Amino acid sequence: MNQQPILTIVVPCYNEEDILSYTFTELKRLMENLVQEQAVSNKSKILFVDDGSSDNTWQMIYKETLKNEYIRGLKLSRNVGHQNALLAGLFTAKEYSDCLITIDADLQDDISVIKEFINKFKEGCEIVYGVRRRREKDTFFKRTTAIWFYKIMKKIGVDLVYNHADFRLMSKRAVNALKDFGEINLFLRGIIPLIGFRSAQVFYDRKERLAGETKYPLRKMISFALNGITSFSVAPIRFVLFIGFSSFCISLLFAIYFLFLKFFRTTELGWTSLILSVWLLGGLQLIGVGLVGEYIGKIYSEVKRRPKYIIDIDAFNMPLPLQNSGGENYDSIYMERGKLSETN
Ligand code: UDP
Ligand code: MG
């Protein structure tokens, strides 16, 4: 019985107050079932990571940690983005856990396949990818942009698991290995296949978001995709080199042609072609410089080695509730720090 693995489910939350109570209920029920069926140890936890929300997300999480033994919380000092919030959760819980599952707070990913994840883990897989079977519940826009994203990534040689988001199981070993990737510009989906180890895929259908709205507006999606591309591949910069080189060759040919016109024909040399080439080359140079800048920006943030996240309150590794030495009640301190207004 004691052999059952300790599971931690890591749930990043950014302004998710609308859906959290649903998420609590569903995940608690799931965890209770898993423990009852002895699929996982009864020490297993669900860790909600508050990614610097500005609504009541943390208050809700904290209250829940006091009520339910399976629920734990982690509050980050500010919004650091989905990927970093996931890391914060994984690294905080890894020593405690044998395996860790990450899932979005909106539970668009089907939690009923978690059982299957655990079976695969018990069969010896260190990483289990949740893969969406279809995405018809996503908006048309999201679906097409996502398809294009995978296509482009594949073209430029980034090895992604098709239609896999951040719903996956990782063993403690895999998470430890992940920790050795010191990059700041993190694109987990690209890095995790690089860890290696035995892995498996589990298929599921993705649901619609029940409440709240997507925290990935177009702006964030573009930055996410751009990050993915530039973190893993020098293909864009090669492309610019290629264009630069081709336009250089073409302009050489033009030069010969223009000289030919000048010396052997009438020199109605076009102001148009001149101005066109000025603009064209100017544009190309700008693209080139912009892209180079993108990479230099990466180097810049890598060399600084800033922490990827900072934990404000760790309600995972501390026993709850707790008396501190001054006799003050742990929960009143933290409730206050979490600006919990309600008294319950
Ligand atoms: N999220 C986060 N920090 C952010 C943005 C999003 O922790 O800055 C979380 C969010 O709470 C959710 C998950 O990342 O649990 C995925 O976000 P969302 O469901 O909005 O993305 P979508 O499913 O639309 O791609
Ligand atoms: Mg979602």
For residue 135, what is the domain's CATH number?
3.90.550.10
Atom of ligand 1 nearest to the CA of 11: 15
In a domain, 298, yes or no: yes
For residue 333, the model assigns a pLDDT of 44
Q: Which atom of ligand 1 is nearest to the CA of 79?
A: 8
Nearest CA to ligand 1 atom 24: 214
Task: Give the predicted TM-score (pTM) of the model.
Answer: 0.76
24 lies in some domain: yes
Q: Are residues 129 and 30 in the same domain?
A: yes
Which residues' Cβ are closer than 6 Å to ligand 1? Answer: 12-14, 16, 51, 79, 81-82, 85, 104-106, 108, 214-216
Q: Are 132 and 254 found together in one domain?
A: no
Instruction: Give the distance (Å) from ligand 2 centre to CA of residue 252.
Output: 52
Secondary structure class of 141 (helix, strand, coil): helix
Token readout for 20 is 């959290």
104: CA distance to ligand 2 center in Å? 6
Residue 118 and residue 203 in one domain: yes
Whole-number pLDDT of residue 325 = 37
CA 139 – ligand 2 centroid, Å: 12
Euclidean distance between CA atoms 88 and 127, whole angstroms: 18
Q: For residues 59 and 148, state if they share a domain.
A: yes
Among 9, 10, 14, residue to substitute to test ligand 1 (most atoms within 8 Å of Cβ): 14
pLDDT of residue 10: 97
In angstroms and rounded to an integer, the radius of gyration of the C-alpha atoms of the chain is 26
Identify whether residues 36 and 60 lie together within a single domain: yes
Question: Is 49 inside a domain boundary?
Answer: yes
Same domain as 275, residue 129? no
Closest atom of ligand 1 to 13 CA is 11
Question: Does any domain span residue 96?
Answer: yes
Q: Which atom of ligand 1 is nearest to the CA of 49?
A: 7
Counting atoms of ligand 1 from 1, which one is nearest the CA of 215? 20
The rounded Cα 316 to chain-centroid distance in angstroms is 21
Locate 26 and state its tokens.
């569903």
Instruction: Determine the pLDDT at residue 137.
Output: 67
Number of domains in the chain: 2
Whether 208 and 187 map to the same domain: the answer is yes
Task: Show Cβ contacts of residue 163 under 8 Å, excluding neighbours closer than 6 positions.
Answer: 131, 132, 133, 135, 146, 150
Which protein residue has the closest C-alpha to ligand 1 atom 2?
A: 82
Output the CA 211–ligand 2 centroid distance in Å. 10
In a domain, 218, yes or no: no
- Of 90, 74, 83, 73, the residue nearest 172 (C-alpha): 90
Burial class of residue 100, CB neighbours in 10 A (0-12, 13-18, 19+): buried
Do residue 286 and residue 317 come from a single domain? no
pLDDT one-digit tens code per residue, 176-186:
988 888 777 77
Measured over the CA atoms of residue 206, residue 207, residue 210 and residue 216, the dihedral's sign is positive
> What per-residue confidence (pLDDT) applies to 342?
42
In a domain, 1, yes or no: no
Which parts of the chain register pLDDT below 70? 1-2, 135-137, 267-272, 275, 304, 306, 319-344
Are residues 110 and 80 part of one domain?
Answer: yes
- Flag whether 89 is in a domain: yes
Same domain (yes/no): 58, 143? yes
Taking the centre of ligand 2 as the mean of its atom positions, its distance from the CA of residue 212, in whole angstroms, is: 9
Alpha helices in the chain (DSSP H): 17-36, 57-67, 82-93, 114-122, 140-155, 172-179, 188-195, 218-232, 235-264, 271-304, 330-337
Which range of residues forms the domain containing residue 263?
Answer: 235-304
Considering the domain architecture, whether residues 198 and 297 belong to the same structural domain is answered as: no
Find, among 33, 18, 9, 208, the residue nearest to 107 by Cα.
208
Which residue minimizes the CA distance to atom 23 of ligand 1? 214
Pick the closest to residue 184 from 49, 311, 312, 307 (CA basis): 307
Q: Within 13 Å, how many C-alpha atoms sit on residue 127's CB side?
A: 23
Distance 106 CA to ligand 2 centre (A): 5
pLDDT of residue 327: 37
Give me the pLDDT at residue 337, please: 46
Residue 14 lies in a domain: yes
Distance, CA of 7 to CA of 172 (rounded, Å): 10
The minimum-distance atom of ligand 1 relative to the CA of 14 is 11
Residue 271 is predicted with a pLDDT of 65
Residue 343: its pLDDT value, please?
A: 38
Residues 12 and 136 in one domain: yes
Ligand 1 centroid to Cα of residue 3, in Å, is: 34
**22 C-alpha vs ligand 2 centroid, how far in Å?**
14
